[in-house]
Amino acid sequence: MSTIPVEKIRNDFPLLKNWIYLDNAATTQTPYQVIHAMHEYYTSYRANVHRGIYELEARASEAYNYAHALVARFIGADFYWIDEEKDFEFSELIFTSGATQSLNLVAESLSRGWLKKGDRVVVTAMEHHSNLVPWIRIAQEKGLELRYVEFDEEGELKLDQLESLVDDNTRVVSVTLVSNFLGTINPIEKIADIAHKKGALLVVDGAQGVPHMKVDVKRMDCDFLAFSAHKMLGPTGVGALFGKRELLEKMEPYEYGGDMISDVERYSASWNRLPWKFEAGTPKIAEGIGFGAAVEYLNKLGMEQVRAHDYELIRYALKRLEEVPRLKIFGPSKPEKRGGLVSFAFEDVEGVAKGPHAHDVADYLARRRICIRAGHHCTLVAHKTLGVSASARMSTYIYNTKSEIDAFVDSLIELEKKFRS
């Protein structure tokens, strides 16, 4: 049972006073604590990082570096304190612009010298476009074989099919931790075992998983993990990539410019130590600091409690959604196999062409100041697999309540009655 003091922490989120916000899988709200951390940077020590020796720069660098350490520790990645330099070494944790750039970084870097014609890349039919389109493009460019693992009627991956697809020619297995459409929590440790037995690398899209559950990259044994700050109370435009150190050291940079170099000659260049090798140019300093503040906020609540709160709300939502006529719910029927989201669509209605479209559902709820998502959620392959063009999606987080779920479901019941009449 969750012990999160929901009514108390709701005061930390300014927008919750006027809205029922159930679109957290798209982006979460930001607490005052994160806003203050970013504001303090802009008003008290605004300077670039890693480039100067004056006090403002030193403070900015220390705060930005410390944010890396906080995020690294949050997912169990290695980092080391270098006391004599008042610095940290977090060789396995790179700041990016978000999960999308993190996944593109991995795909592009691996395509440079690692992947060759005839190699196999295995993905799943439930992937977000960020973890699918880069592999499609590189497969076309390099002549790779791209294979799909399907999901069953419950929205769970067919692990026996995965095992048959991963062979000695497989170089990469790329899979989501939690589906942003089906809500499915995938068994990453089992998938890692299947991939590594054949010498393949495991890339994990953690955008919907890291914000909602305790993640330990060593226990998972993934080779790469991508996630975004804005889905876990942080600012937009910043995220992270975990990669095993021995892999990151061998990989080529994704971008080139300032701060990522060690030395430059007229006709050659060498790269900086990790993680700066992959962080070219002036970074998003305030956003990185805000990312660290978001992690501190979640740490105070405890990720086990975050997961317990999600579970309670989704279990309650699934039960209440049974009251809505002709509603099709996608993904696992058991709440313990789901993350904090439910996607759904109205089925055909007798005597009428079809039930309300997903966009009509979202619009109807929006008029009641209830925020959900509608569309294909950047998972066209999964939607086409199920034969649906669009779905509506509600998604919860730490500040949502059962009374908000009630308002959401009651509105759906009203809409369905109006549509039939």
Query: pLDDT tens for residues 105-144?
Result: 999 999 998 999 999 999 999 999 999 999 999 999 999 9
pLDDT at 299 over 70: yes
Q: What confidence score (pLDDT) does residue 353 get?
A: 47
| Fold equal for 6-22+302-420 and 70-300 | no
Q: What confidence score (pLDDT) does residue 356 get?
A: 85
Cβ within 8 Å of residue 331, ≥6 positions away:
154, 155, 179, 181, 182, 183, 184, 338, 342, 343
**pLDDT tens readout for residues 243-282:** 999 999 999 898 898 888 888 899 998 888 888 888 888 9
> How far, in Å, are 69, 86, 187 from residue 89 at the CA level?
8, 10, 31
pLDDT at 391 over 50: yes
Q: What confidence score (pLDDT) does residue 294 get?
A: 98
Nearest 5°: the CA angle 329, 334, 335 is: 90
Query: How many other CB atoms are found less than 10 A from the CB of residue 41?
Result: 21
pLDDT at 352 over 50: no
Q: Are strands 201-205 and 145-149 parallel, antiparallel or unpaired?
A: unpaired
Cβ within 8 Å of residue 97, ≥6 positions away:
237, 238, 239, 284
Residues in a beta bridge with 66: none
Helices (H), 338-401: 358-366, 380-386
Evaluate whether 202 touches 191 at the Cβ level (below 8 Å): yes
Q: What confidence score (pLDDT) does residue 50 get?
A: 86
- Eight-class DSSP state of 399: T
Mean of pLDDT values over 214-239: 98
**Of 98, 91, 124, 72, nearest to 251 (Cα)?**
91
Alpha-carbon span 192 to 201, nearest angstrom: 8
Q: What confidence score (pLDDT) does residue 262 get?
A: 84
pLDDT at 400 over 90: yes
Alpha-carbon span 206 to 215, nearest angstrom: 9
Find how far residue 207's CA is from the centre of its chain: 1
- Choose which CATH entry (3.40.50.2000, 3.40.640.10, 3.90.1150.10, 3.40.630.30) describes domain 70-300: 3.40.640.10
Q: Write the class of the CATH domain 6-22+302-420.
A: alpha beta
354 confidence band (pLDDT: 50, 70, 90): low
pLDDT at 173 over 70: yes
Find how far residue 208's CA is from the centre of its chain: 4
Cβ within 8 Å of residue 293, ≥6 positions away:
33, 34, 36, 37, 38, 67, 234
Per domain, the residue ranges of the chain are 6-22+302-420, 70-300
Q: Cis omega before residue 356 (within 30°)?
A: no
Evaluate whether 174 touches 166 at the Cβ level (below 8 Å): no
**pLDDT tens readout for residues 317-333:** 999 999 999 999 999 99
Mean of pLDDT values over 163-179: 98
Q: Tokens for 392? A: 């509506």
**pLDDT tens readout for residues 30-84:** 999 999 999 999 999 999 998 878 999 999 999 999 999 999 999 999 766 555 4
Residues with active-site annotation: 378
Nearest 5°: the CA angle 179, 227, 238 is: 135
